[in-house]
Amino acid sequence: MDAIVEAALKKWPNVPHCHGWLALDARGDWYMRDARVQAAGPFPRVKGSRIAHERLLDFIHRNYGADAHGAWYFQNGPQRVYVELEAAPFVWRIQAEPWRVQAHTGVPATPRSAWLDEAGRLFLDTDVGYGIVHTLDMLAAADAVEQGLWQPQPMPWAQMPERFRYQLRPQPTPADAGGAVPSG
């Protein structure tokens, strides 16, 4: 976490959390979802505005984490902005030989296990966390499977969040510091 974010948390410890305003799709793209977008429909059916500003993306990536309940968030200064996930907390980019795995946040990862859902999407559990393989990298991932580096096991997608302890759509709770900013 950035030092400036830690300082803001100490200065303003009770800023309400925010829900529904930030989302991560299955290709590693971030979306802002203002009240109008939220009213238009749920994520990912209605995505919102794609974030393309490189410095903002770097800031989000450096301050992205999960709470004890598997709810992923971006710590934006003193405010925790919970993230709606289309598929998983991480989106893996795969580099063919030597089979490097990197998160959409830029963090390198080492796979521990591989999983296939009923739609044929490949997920990896790594030392960094759980995520989906980017669609553009499925050829490299298929090569890794063919070479025996990963042995994907079947698992229905609906079971993955509970098994790997993450929430697709974190909801406000009374325990949220300072209360919760309502969606919409």
Other Cβ atoms less than 10 A from the Cβ of 40: the count is: 12
Q: Are 88 and 132 in contact (CB under 8 A)?
A: yes
Domain positions in the chain: 3-86, 90-163
| Cα 55 to Cα 62: distance, rounded to the nearest angstrom | 11
- pTM for the predicted model, two decimal places: 0.87
pLDDT tens digit sequence for 86-100: 999 999 999 988 889
- Reported as a single tens digit per residue, the pLDDT across 156-177 is 999 999 999 999 999 987 766 5
- Mean pLDDT (the chain, rounded): 90
Q: Looking at the domain covering 3-86, what would its CATH class be?
A: alpha beta
pLDDT in tens, 64-82: 999 999 999 999 877 889 9
How high is the pLDDT of residue 180? 39
Q: Give the Cα separation of 4 and 146 in Å (integer).
A: 45
State yes or no: pLDDT of 184 exceeds 70: no
Q: How far apart (Å, rounded) are the C-alpha atoms in residues 87 and 82?
A: 15
* Position 4 confidence tier, pLDDT thresholds 50, 70, 90: low
